[in-house]
Structure 1
Amino acid sequence: MKKIIYLVLFAIGLSVHAQNDLPKQASEITPLLIGEKIPNVTLKSVENTDVNVLELIRKKRTVLVFYRGGWCPYCNVHLAALAEAEKELLDLGYQIIAISPDAPKSLKVTDEKEKLNYLLLSDSIGELAKAVGIAFEAPENYKPLITKGSDGMNTSFLPVPAVFILNTNGEIEFEHITPNFKNRISNDLLVAVAKSLKK
């Protein structure tokens, strides 16, 4: 009987370990697809308050952006570019929500530095990035950066930069996912897609 219990516990342990395994490379991720729904999770705001993501999305169509952190120069350029497209997107009836593994206090630094008007949320343990399927194992040279940015909450993963356009049910209508973190969607393409989805 003891042997059976040990075998069951061993199998459970293997199963849990397998679920926690992350892809080793950005190119190996398996993201949610168009038509699938964003999972319901609660993240932290710049003020360190709980924010239910699906409740926000239910209010209006959403441009959901995942970025690596405020320490990433390519991400900061992308966030600033999004700010330039914000008025057009707002006029089309969208909201912008940007999510990273950064802790709330790191988000605040990014928010103030880039003078952003849209919402930044903290996914320091990677609950949403992993559920969406865009998290991968961070290379060793990034681990000090992500540990510092997340206030010690994240020591192991990075999200692949991604932009999703969601309807108010949280369903993905468009996605742009770039394993090469240096490449980001242009404002022209993003606005054009947002317009076409509104028709």
Structure 2
Amino acid sequence: MTLQATLDAFRADFKAGKPPFNAPAHIHPIMERATAELIASGAAQRALKVGDKAPLFSLKNADGELVSSAQLLAKGPLVLTFYRGVWCPYCNMELEALQAFLPTLKATGAQLVAVSPQTAANSRKSTRITELEFPILSDPHNDVAAAFGLRFELPDYLIELYKGFGNNLPLINDDPSWTLPMPARYVIGQDGVIRYAEVNPDYTQRPEPSDMLDAIKR
């Protein structure tokens, strides 16, 4: 099953309220409204795209060690995936798919890292849940996401819904701002130029890991 088919099946079960889900029906139009508004804002079209120069960054991994994009690019092309956090099941399924694809990526010489605004403790939780063998970097305040044009503010009505879910983003991210990155995946060449870019304001839609192979091999 493809990654997107897995996500679609999860979304259908969630909306239908199948076990283990017990989400009230009224929440779905609220979440869909927020997604539709983010799509309509055109934010995804303003994010960095193929041919743009990727900003350099240094972020800490789950063990508190500083990791720089320059060091990673010295080893090979860099695959960079931005995700919302350990609380997002769609993100976790994408990380699992990337983990399964990791041997193929390693064979190309590419480096893979995930970036989220969550704290190191939550990144360690992500690693345990999805059994990752690639690093998760913490992006405080979504500053690196902003440099790629991915950061957005949640609308007030969605914040209230998230609070009801127990998704306390200020606690999860150690940041009071209630911002998130749009899910995105980039391939950056060793020259620092973006070779592949997939940005989707609909968090239920993710590209297949194999979609970026041609860009890596170029």
2:75/2:109 contact within 8 Å kept: no
Matched, 1:165 2:187: yes
Match runs of 1:84-95 below 5 Å: 84-95=100-111
* Equivalent in the alignment of 1:25: 38
What is the CA–CA distance in structure 2 between the aligned matches of 1:99 and 1:69, rounded to whole Å?
Answer: 9
Bigger Rg, which one: 1
Distance apart, 1:56 and its partner CA: 1.9
* Equivalent in the alignment of 1:198: 217
* Distance verdict in 2 for CA 1:40–1:190, change over 3 Å: closer
Distance apart, 1:124 and its partner CA: 2.1
Distance apart, 1:154 and its partner CA: 4.9
Instruction: From 95, 100, 116, give the equivalent of 1:79.
Output: 95
- What is the TM-score when the length of structure 1 is the normalising length? 0.79
Q: Which amino acid is 1:145 matched to?
A: N
- The alignment partner of 1:126 has SS state of helix
- 5+ residue gaps in structure 1? 1-23
Larger deviation: 46-55 or 124-133?
46-55
Give the fraction of aligned pairs with identical amino acids, expressed as a percent.
31
What is the CA–CA distance in structure 2 between the aligned matches of 1:168 and 1:146, rounded to whole Å?
Answer: 34
* Equivalent in the alignment of 1:7: none
- 5+ residue gaps in structure 2? 1-36
What is the CA–CA distance in structure 2 between the aligned matches of 1:154 and 1:87, rounded to whole Å?
Answer: 38
What is the CA–CA distance in structure 2 between the aligned matches of 1:154 and 1:94, rounded to whole Å?
Answer: 35
What is the CA–CA distance in structure 2 between the aligned matches of 1:161 and 1:33, rounded to whole Å?
Answer: 14
* Distance verdict in 2 for CA 1:121–1:154, change over 3 Å: farther
What is the CA–CA distance in structure 2 between the aligned matches of 1:58 and 1:95, rounded to whole Å?
Answer: 10
* Equivalent in the alignment of 1:4: none
* Distance verdict in 2 for CA 1:86–1:131, change over 3 Å: same
What is the CA–CA distance in structure 2 between the aligned matches of 1:174 and 1:127, rounded to whole Å?
Answer: 21
Q: Which amino acid is 2:171 matched to?
A: K
2:72/2:111 contact within 8 Å kept: no
Instruction: From 124, 133, 140, give the equivalent of 2:140.
Output: 124
Residue-pair matches, total: 172
What is the CA–CA distance in structure 1 between the aligned matches of 2:125 and 2:153, rounded to whole Å?
Answer: 25
2:184/2:197 contact within 8 Å kept: yes
Larger deviation: 31-40 or 110-119?
31-40
1:25/1:137 contact within 8 Å kept: no
2:61/2:137 contact within 8 Å kept: yes
- Spell out structure 1 runs of 4+ moving beyond 4 A: none
- The alignment partner of 1:136 has SS state of strand
* Distance verdict in 2 for CA 1:33–1:188, change over 3 Å: closer
* Distance verdict in 2 for CA 1:104–1:92, change over 3 Å: same
CA RMSD in angstroms, aligned pairs only: 1.8
What is the CA–CA distance in structure 2 between the aligned matches of 1:154 and 1:57, rounded to whole Å?
Answer: 32
* Distance verdict in 2 for CA 1:198–1:188, change over 3 Å: closer
1:114-141 C-alpha deviation (Å, 9 max, x unpaired)? 1100111000211100011011112323
Q: Which amino acid is 1:174 matched to?
A: Y
